Amino acid sequence: MPRRFLAAFALAAVVSGLGIGVSSAALAAPGDGTWGTWSATNPLDAPTGRLDFGNSSVGGANYTFVLNSGSSTASIDSVTSAGEWFTAETAPGAWAGANGPSVTDNVLTLSGAAANATTTITFDNPVPADYLTIVVSDLDSTNATDPLYSDRVTITATTDSGASLSSSELQGSASGSEVFNFCNVAVNADMPTDCSGTVATAVPVMQTPSATSVYFFGDISVSSAVGNSAWLAPSAEVKTLTIVWSSYAVLSDVRIALAVKQDPTPPTPPTPPSPNLPDTGVDAVAVTLTAGILGLVGAAALLVGRRHGERKPAMGRVPTRRV
């Protein structure tokens, strides 16, 4: 075997061994949110149904819609058919990721005139603090002096033990940006179709009428029928969420969308030490491979040395032949 080939073989073995023996574990960055998908036996008339998330630890939730007065219905729409979604430029879109355009059923639409209705969402498992966001969109308003001429929503929540979240806990990481307009975004292909290619800046009004509730209503100082929205991102666990909606006299609707955070990708566990060696922090597999590789290198060097030491007989000398 030529010496150059042996040297190349030894070098390749060392490089290969080092490549195999070196390993590292790093925490993956947490994923963004996953928007809930609503489902019901009849999506066009859906007073009860299911909400599921792409997060195995959260699972999903059951919901019920109860009409308290007036005339109202609940139905399920994709954001594309509704013409309403939240791009990454909006606060909830930045928090959970954009939810449209999409044909996925991920909004619950409440429609009615002079209606008052309660939607209760009960999660399979308590959603951890800072894992949930609630968005209510299309809080219309008319230019009037009375808030009754606008859509009004009161939101409350309880923990697994039944304790009520405080107003500040309900607001959570949304505090300071709870109201927005989904049409206040760049005019491009991502803009919701309900915006008709026009930027809108009107936003609802937020109040905290009690220590354990948050109240939103359309700004009656302006007449706005598009984009007015509100969101919360609770800083405490949530087991049950209650949304009470009141519409004004003419036909109106609001839409509810929920998202949860994705669970972080777990880190890759390190290779356990060999049971026959003390735990020195050295990868036993790497040690074994390195020892084998050094053995190969040594054997190759010995073979080269032996061949190099062979000598041909001197010219003119005839080897002595034993009799």
Neighbours of 146 (CB within 10 A): 9
Inside any domain, residue 286: yes
One domain for residues 255 and 287:
no
Instruction: Give residue 301's domain range.
Output: 3-25+268-309
Please give the distance of CA 39 from its chain centroid, rounded to a whole number. Answer: 20
One domain for residues 257 and 286:
no
H or E stretch covering 299: helix 284-309
One domain for residues 243 and 280:
no
Q: Residue written as tokens 């909006």?
A: 90
Q: Residue written as tokens 């309403």?
A: 84
Q: Can you tell me the distance from the alpha carbon of 248 to that of 153, in angstroms, rounded to the nearest whole number?
A: 12
Please give the distance of CA 185 from its chain centroid, rounded to a whole number. Answer: 22
Residue 93's nearest CA partner among 135, 151, 127 is: 135
Looking at residue 274, what DSSP letter applies? P
Per-residue confidence of the chain (323 residues) as pLDDT tens digits?
Answer: 444 444 444 444 433 343 333 322 222 223 378 999 999 999 999 999 999 998 878 889 999 999 999 999 999 999 999 999 999 999 999 999 999 998 887 899 999 988 999 999 999 999 999 999 999 999 988 767 777 788 999 999 999 999 999 999 999 999 999 999 999 999 999 999 999 999 999 999 999 999 999 999 988 877 767 899 999 999 999 999 999 999 987 788 999 999 999 876 556 667 666 555 555 555 554 545 555 555 555 555 555 455 555 554 544 454 555 54
For the chain, the domain total comes to 2
CB-count exposure of residue 269 (10 Å: 0-12, 13-18, 19+): exposed
Inside any domain, residue 64: yes
Inside any domain, residue 67: yes
One domain for residues 16 and 64:
no
- Rounding to the nearest 10 degrees, give the CA dihedral for residues 36, 38, 39, 44: -160
Inside any domain, residue 164: yes
